[in-house]
Structure 1
């Protein structure tokens, strides 16, 4: 299926994160990172027009020495963006990393609303995920520690799934009544908010671990694969999607095994794989699902971006060589009509999402064909009767 798409060059702005606040408002995060490259780390607010053109509305420059915004999520109802941004080296050395930040968009301007550190003092040998209440950013449970690297996390209404390289960890979320209320930080009440956060942190309990699903249970896991992404369907949390990237074989004298990526659809009632699609000779670098639950978007290490149908994982759109470097972020707008990819090559590409998924054979088309056949047979029968 063909889909209109438009590339946009963003000079001196490597893109690492993205999210839509509305149908037309897009926020991009990027920059040169913590290195002294001379490329500033920023958030940028754009308007995306119906013809897929971009208009820069505002930008927020981070402090010198801070990292680029490497992760991002939007809360459209409050026009806020939550970012993962590491503080400058001096603060890191003092265990003062304010790595979780909330930005508000008002009157088409970006502004810092609040910050929160989620990492404990000292060096840890494991990986950690913190669960915070929004908008207060107060911890609602003890941090989750894993032995393997964490690549993704996804929420349903009652569960949190953490995807490490080697397994899926399914946790029960606390009920709203069990979450202590904490005032969101303001300029006048930051001291009270910090004290409340500290009290909540000491009283936080562990999340209940419901399931641990090894990567070997998924397609591609037996081939030395690791989980790369995991997403609940936002419309039907009975469906869950994962990406597994395999690693080429490096055994001496053995025939090289090409790297592959597997996208799988899971039934969350049984936590079993229902369908799998294999992408040959490439690994996926980013992955997301549309707000209407109909499309899976992906970016690949072979520079391709594309869309899959969520029902049967059939490919709908593929844009070859969408970027010069592998894409690092993708995002759907709130109406699921636009799809954006970004790359460290200083570019984004805006793609118009097809109006229908097109995945599989349409029953409407089948009925039309049957009706035409009935009409044709009726005409032939009348001719036969007329000649005999």
Structure 2
């Protein structure tokens, strides 16, 4: 039986590419129309969620210059009200090699202010961008993945580069996540999961690959997302794989967090899974699918805790 899942919808007015909550429960989102598109601004916005009125109260906006790209990914520091977004500079600046695209912002109660930035990609092509960004559990490391197939890690708050590795040629890095100890990172490319060492003699190298072809005997799948478990699920890891070709639907793949051995594969949706997250205590999995549904599962059993169709 599905538990009730109250919800409400509020129009924002721009395409949204990233959404997150700060530690003070401010809702932060980012998006826009991209470089040079008149009338659709690129910005970061914070809101107070008014559950009683079923509305969002706008608290702060940071608008970007019209010649710069929209923020394409977003993450929040685990203990500070700091957000990191991937935002390209103008196409002209990119062509000159000037693109500090990984940008940090302080999220205040009434103001969003620029903090510092660093370059996470070398491409001078405006179609390339930073596709994903994640902090480790204690917020001392930051990892990025780009459409040029590169994973880069930085120390935080200095943004000193720790490692840079080309994990795939001519393809995107779709997601990155680091384990609780910050000793290893898993990068997601469509064809596989790439385990990268962050410490010791092997630091900055791929030490293991889980091929998408090994996930299911009957379905052809491509990976989409990955998260290390924590708390209730600290010995597990979770990946999303979607069917391609004649294979349909979205699958959740449960792995051993230490060996990346596949323990269970579960078809969670009849349509591709487009968004995925794990609760901070590791007890719940949340995902959105292409049929506009949002579901919540118990991480330990993959039983449905709640489900809601958001659009008809």
User: Shared topology, TM-score over 0.5?
Assistant: yes
**Deviation for aligned residue 1:142:** 2.8
- Quickly say closer, same or farther: Cα 1:74–1:280, change in 2 above 3 A: closer
For 2:141, the equivalent position in structure 1 comes to: none
For 1:101, the equivalent position in structure 2 comes to: 103
Q: 1:232 aligns with which of 214, 228, 234?
A: 228
For 1:149, the equivalent position in structure 2 comes to: 172
Alpha-carbon distance between aligned partners in 1 of 2:71 and 2:37, rounded to the nearest angstrom: 16
Report if aligned partners of 1:24, 1:49 keep a CA contact under 8 Å in 2.
no
Report if aligned partners of 1:219, 1:264 keep a CA contact under 8 Å in 2.
no
Q: 2:90 aligns with which of 85, 88, 91?
A: 88
For 2:241, the equivalent position in structure 1 comes to: 244
For 1:165, the equivalent position in structure 2 comes to: 190
TM-score w.r.t. length of structure 1: 0.68
Alpha-carbon distance between aligned partners in 2 of 1:95 and 1:244, rounded to the nearest angstrom: 35
- Higher helix share goes to which structure? 1
Report if aligned partners of 2:60, 2:109 keep a CA contact under 8 Å in 1.
no
Q: Name the larger-Rg structure.
A: 1
- Quickly say closer, same or farther: Cα 1:146–1:237, change in 2 above 3 A: farther
TM-score w.r.t. length of structure 2: 0.84
Report if aligned partners of 1:171, 1:211 keep a CA contact under 8 Å in 2.
yes
Report if aligned partners of 1:131, 1:143 keep a CA contact under 8 Å in 2.
no
* Pair 1:316 & 2:296 matched: no
SS, match of residue 141 in structure 1: strand
In structure 2, stretches of 5+ residues that fail to align are 129-146
Q: Which runs of 4+ in 1 moved over 3 A?
A: 49-53, 121-126
- Higher strand share goes to which structure? 2
For 1:223, the equivalent position in structure 2 comes to: 219
Alpha-carbon distance between aligned partners in 2 of 1:8 and 1:60, rounded to the nearest angstrom: 22
Paired residue total: 286
Alpha-carbon distance between aligned partners in 1 of 2:90 and 2:255, rounded to the nearest angstrom: 41
For 1:46, the equivalent position in structure 2 comes to: 47
Q: Higher relative contact order at CA 8 Å, sep ≥6: structure 1 or structure 2? A: 1
In structure 1, stretches of 5+ residues that fail to align are 179-204, 250-256, 325-388
**Which digits, 9 at most, give the CA deviation of each residue in 1:67-100, with x for residues without a partner?**
2111111014221001011111111111211210
Report if aligned partners of 1:72, 1:84 keep a CA contact under 8 Å in 2.
yes
